[in-house]
Amino acid sequence: MNYLKGIIFFTLLLVLSRVVPHPPNFTPILAGIIFLPFIKKDFIFSMIVPIVVMLISDLIIGMHSLMFWTYLPILILSFLAFYFYQDSFRRVINLAIFSPIIFFILSNFGVWVNSAKYSRDFSGLVECYIYAIPFYASSAISCILFSIVFYLIRQLIFKKIFLPQ
């Protein structure tokens, strides 16, 4: 029962992080995806929880036309986090560095494809990516920061649990 409460708490924490006011793209969503295999080493769990978090929070803050281009990288990152899971700080940091890059490339490609603002050539694509750099910075900083925090909290909890008193 405590395990289920922990999963529900973590899921609600991620939903809340998208709903409360915050700087653009400064949420623990990507870090949460990286951390899910630490909670439960189950492929379906790792794929479903981020989608549920995104759907619940999008129902609250509003659906949008770029959901495919938001959810696709979420699913890819969920797969990568599960596939490359290892209880190692170095692995967590590597995932925290590369996850925002993958999300940035895929989601902003979707912005370029679906927006009339950018020309339909390579220079339009580059322009789209350039305008998105501030959002990438927030995403990268938050992913690295929250990944470190989640990992350290986990280490402290397990150290406390398993240390003789």
What does the pLDDT look like over 78-88, one tens digit per residue? 999 999 999 99
Strand, helix or coil at 27?
coil
CA distance 11 to 49: 7
Total-model pTM: 0.92
Average pLDDT (119-148) is 97
Question: What is the residue-averaged pLDDT of the chain?
Answer: 93
Angle between helices 43-61 and 67-83 (to 10 degrees): 150
The number of distinct structural domains making up the chain is 1
Q: Is the dihedral of CA 61, 67, 70, 75 positive or negative?
A: positive
What per-residue confidence (pLDDT) applies to 83? Answer: 96
* Confidence grade of residue 162 (pLDDT, cut at 50, 70, 90): low
Confidence of residue 6 (pLDDT cuts 50, 70, 90): confident
pLDDT, position 161 = 55
Domain that holds residue 23: 2-162
Burial of 159 (C-beta count, 10 Å sphere; 0-12/13-18/19+) = exposed
Detail the DSSP E strand segments found in the chain.
Answer: none
Q: What is the mean pLDDT of residues 74-80?
A: 98
Of all residues in the chain, what percent carry a pLDDT higher than 90? 86
Mean pLDDT, range 10-37, rounded to an integer: 95
CA 67 to chain centre: 14
Tell me the pLDDT band of 14, cut-offs 50, 70 and 90. very high
Taking the C-alpha atoms of residue 13 and residue 122, their distance in angstroms, rounded to an integer, is 39
How far is Cα 23 from Cα 154, in angstroms, rounded to an integer?
Answer: 26
